[in-house]
Chain A
Amino acid sequence: MTHLGDVLSALLDGELTQEEAATATEHLATCAECRAERDHLAEARQAVRDLPVLDLPPPLWVQLMRSRRRAARPAAWLGAAAAAVALIGLAAVPTRQHHVTPQMAHLVQVHAASSGAEPVTGMAPATVNARFVP
C-alpha cells in the first residue's frame, strides 16, 4: 500500500482539493501508520504555531517610527492601516515584555541621529515613554 507521505502535511494545511482531501481521508480510515504520522505532523505544526509573536526591541521600534514618518507616501490603504494599527498599539498596555529595559541614553542617541535638532518629546508620545521607564 502506498502511504500518503507529504500529502498529510498538505491535508493539515488545507492545501488539497476537495477530491484529493476525500481520497486522503479515505486512506487514513484504513491505515494506522498514516494516522500516526499525521498525528506527529500535527504536533510539530501546532508547536511552531503556538510560538509567541515577539515584540520589537526598542531601538528597532524607534527605527520603525522613523521609517513611518519619513516614508514617501505609500499606497493610501497602507498608510491608513498603518496609522490605525499604530494608534491602537500606542494606546494598548503591553501584556508581555521579553526584553530587558533599554538604555534611555541609547534611545535618545538613536532618535537624535534620526531627527537632527528636533527634541525627543517632539516625536515620542507620552505613552511610549511610559513603557520604557525602568
Chain B
Amino acid sequence: MARDHGRFIYTVAFRLTGDRDDAADLTQEVLLRVKKGLTTYRPVSIEGWLSRITTNLFLDEVRRRRRRPTEALPDDPERVLPPAAAADDVLTSVTLGADVQAALLALPEEFRAAVVLCDVAALSYGEISDVLGVPVGTVRSRIHRGRLLLRSALTKAAS
C-alpha cells in the first residue's frame, strides 16, 4: 500500500461519513481488508477496488444503523448542520470545504455515494455501476439528482 492510496481511502471515507472518527474507523477497516486480499487480487483499477471496499463498508454500516435507530445516523440533523465553529476552527473549516461537505451529508446515502465515487474518487460510470451493483442508467440518474440537490443546498446555505 502506498501512502497516496491511504489518503485516497481516507478522503473517500471522510466525504461519505463527514466525520473524522467515522472516517478513521472506516479507513482502518479498509486497510485490514486490503491487507487480507492483497495476495490474490489482480487489480484492473486499484482506485476502483479501494472505492468498492470503502463504499460497501459505508453502506453496510448505514443499513446496520437504520436497523438500530437509537444510534445517530450519518444524516442526523446535528451532524448535517454542525454547531458554529470556534474561531480557531474557522480556517480549518474553510480549507476542508465545510459547506460542500455539509451539502454532501444532506444527500440520501445512495446519491452521496454515487456523487463521491464520481467526483471525489474520479471513477467512470461503468466502474461506479460495478462498485454499487446497479445499472449504469441508475448511476447516471443518482449522480444527476445528487448534483441538483447539492447545488440547491449550496445555494440555500449561501443565501
Are B6 and A15 in contact, with the CB atoms below 8 A? no
Q: A48: which B residues are within 8 A, CB to CB?
A: 15, 100, 104, 115-116, 119-120, 150
* Chain A stretch 48-69: residues in CB contact (< 8 A) with chain B: 48-57, 59-61, 63-64, 67-68
Do A98 and B95 have beta carbons less than 8 Å apart?
yes
Q: B87 within 8 Å of A by Cβ?
A: no
* A83-B116 Cα distance, complex, nearest whole Å: 28
B31 to chain A, nearest CB (A): 6
**B1 near A68 (CB under 8 angstroms)?**
yes
Q: Chain A interface mostly helix, strand, loop or mixed? A: helix
A34 at the interface (CB under 8 A from B): no
Minimum C-beta distance from A74 to chain B (A):
5
B38 at the interface (CB under 8 A from A): yes
Q: Complex: how many Å from CA A41 to CA B116?
A: 14
> Within 8 Å of chain A (Cβ to Cβ): is B20?
yes
B86 within 8 A of A: no
Residues facing A in B89-147 (CB within 8 A) are 92, 95-97, 100-101, 103-104, 115-116, 118-120, 124-125, 140-141, 143-145, 147
Q: Which residues in B have their C-beta under 8 angstroms from that of A9?
A: 140, 143-144, 147
A45–B116 Cα distance when bound, in Å, is 10
Interface segment out of the listed B39-47, B56-64, B66-74, B76-84: B39-47
Asked if B3 and A56 sit within 8 Å, CB to CB, the answer is: yes
Q: Which residues of A contact B20 (CB under 8 A)?
A: 57, 99
Contact B3–A89 (Cβ < 8 Å): yes
Residue positions of A touching B, CB distance < 8 A: 5-6, 8-10, 13, 15, 37, 40-41, 43-45, 47-57, 59-61, 63-64, 67-68, 70-75, 78, 81-86, 89, 96, 98-99
Listed A/B pairs (9) with beta-carbon separation below 8 Å: A9-B147, A13-B125, A48-B104, A48-B119, A51-B97, A52-B96, A54-B96, A64-B31, A71-B35
- 13 further contact pairs, Cβ within 8 A, besides A48-B120, A57-B24, A83-B2: A10-B144, A13-B125, A48-B15, A48-B116, A52-B96, A54-B96, A67-B31, A70-B35, A71-B35, A78-B43, A82-B1, A86-B3, A98-B92
